[in-house]
Amino acid sequence: MFPYILKRVLYFIPTFIVISLITFLLSQMAPGDPVELKLKGGMQSANQQASDKLSGEKAYLELSEKYGRNLPAFYFSITSGAEPDTLYKITRKADRESLARLINMYGNWPLISAYYYSVQNLELAVLSMPDDQASFEARKTIRDNCNILYINYDDNEIENILKQTQALVDLSVTDSQQVVHKPLASISGTFGNVKNSYEKVKAEKRPSANLLPAFHWYGTGNQYHRWMFGDVPWFGPNTDITKHSKGFFRFDFGTSYVDDREVSSIIKDSLRWTLLLSFIIVLLEYLISIPSGVILAIRSNTLFDKVYTVFLFICYSLPVVWIGTLLITFLTSDYYGDKFNLFPPYGLGKVGDEFGFWEKVTDRSYHFVLPVFTITLGSFAYMSRQMRGSMLSVIRQDYIRTAFAKGLSPGKVYWKHAFRNSLLPIITIFSSLLPAMISGAVIIEYMFNIPGMGRVSYDAQVQRDYPVLFTILLFSAILTMLGNLLADILYVMVDPRISFNKKM
């Protein structure tokens, strides 16, 4: 058995690497820019100045460096021959994607790069202009047009934006003294650079450069390596690790995009409630479903079996959300007055240090009654049906009839000989409980406002808090592999006829 366990553990390594790569790929493909979200979308005020723009860019770059978003995504990349190996240095995701589209269309990166930076110069030139009420709306429109040019790759739309901007630059204004002047004449040359650079991109396009592939090697200075292994040397002299990421394998899961808390702290605070809730649920499920399934199999085709089976089907078919909603509505509110106001509708109860241990245990149990009942009702019904079917298939075997023929008591036959061999489906179900204990019951924790892993996972998904979400996903993957290994070990312990060594 030990060689088999060792072989399975070795299989965990490539499996986990593949899972981590898929998870990382999802984080790269997910819509939105976490840095932009952290900076409230990079919103600009109507009277923003060049200094504000530069300070905003500085804050963006600092936050990108903190999250490691300023690094290339992976150890290497295979791109078209026209795409440079430095495109990742365009830190804003929307700008980078737009430039990649332009490269795919025109193929001449030096000219495309010149066009991109000419748009930046135009925006800074507009922001550097002195305040002038006569040109306020025109300057604001040009700034908006620059933001559109950053993320636009459609030729018709770019041409329309350039024509609109040209009209604003050439705008003539008559002041109170009947003097005609152009308030935006000072940026005419800068805008001309934008227009000329874009015309040059189209005139000297080289789409054939995209036909040849290019391989770019970045080494360990990439986002994936930083996420998994950190950027602190594993060996060597001591360094100030507070300024570095230590990586997933050193149990440094990064910081939350939402509140800058350590992900490990968030998981630690929420995991205890999910483990407590899951332990109670699993304990009740097995204590109720296993004896029920055995008794139903023993009393198969009796009136008790038929009635109880119908009851189990009803329990299993009831949606968890519907059950929880009914319990909250009729057992926690004063819909029928104080008579049915039996349980608290949400929360954990007394959690402060000023309360005694047994006082908190009693109050916590009082708050857990409804969520535990909501989950257990459907789960025990499913497990009871599985236990019944497995037990039925066993008690119909020849060796069970032989045991009865030897004069053994029914209790000894059922519980000593048949019960052990009917546990295989239950063990299979048990293998899925490990990841469930860390991922939590999302719907139930959300409905009853329990700050467990399910609630944290839901909030992280809604808020695009990827460090939290993907850390939970990786731990769930690890526990899934461990659960499957544990199930294989239990198979051998329950049924000696099973031997994985013969298959090696």
Q: Average pLDDT over the chain, rounded to whole? A: 83
Residue 500 or 258, more confident: 258
Q: How wide is the angle at C-alpha 128 spanned by C-alphas 125 and 134, nearest 5°?
A: 95
Q: How far is CA 460 from the centre of its chain?
A: 6
Residue 47 or 5, more confident: 5
**pLDDT-based confidence at 234, cuts 50/70/90?**
low
The partner residues of 217 in beta bridges, in order of sequence, read 76
* Helix axis angle, 263-298 to 466-494, nearest 10°: 30
- For 398-449, write each residue's pLDDT tens digit: 888 888 888 888 888 888 888 888 888 888 887 777 777 666 577 888 888 8
134-156 mean pLDDT:
89
Backbone angles phi, psi at 204, to 5 degrees: -110, 40
Residue with tokens 């106001």: 341
**pLDDT-based confidence at 42, cuts 50/70/90?**
very low
3-state SS assignment for residue 343: coil
What pLDDT does 410 receive? 86
**pLDDT-based confidence at 175, cuts 50/70/90?**
low
**Per-residue DSSP letter, 500:** G
Strands (E) across 201-334 are located at 213-217
**pLDDT-based confidence at 46, cuts 50/70/90?**
very low
**CB within 8 Å of 259: residues ≥ 6 apart:** none
As a residue count, the chain comes to 504
**Per-residue DSSP letter, 77:** E
Q: Which domains does the chain have, with CATH numbers?
A: 76-217 (no CATH), 263-496 (1.10.3720.10)
The model carries a pTM of: 0.77
- For 84-130, write each residue's pLDDT tens digit: 988 988 878 889 999 999 999 999 999 999 999 999 999 999 888 88
**Per-residue DSSP letter, 501:** G
The partner residues of 216 in beta bridges, in order of sequence, read 77
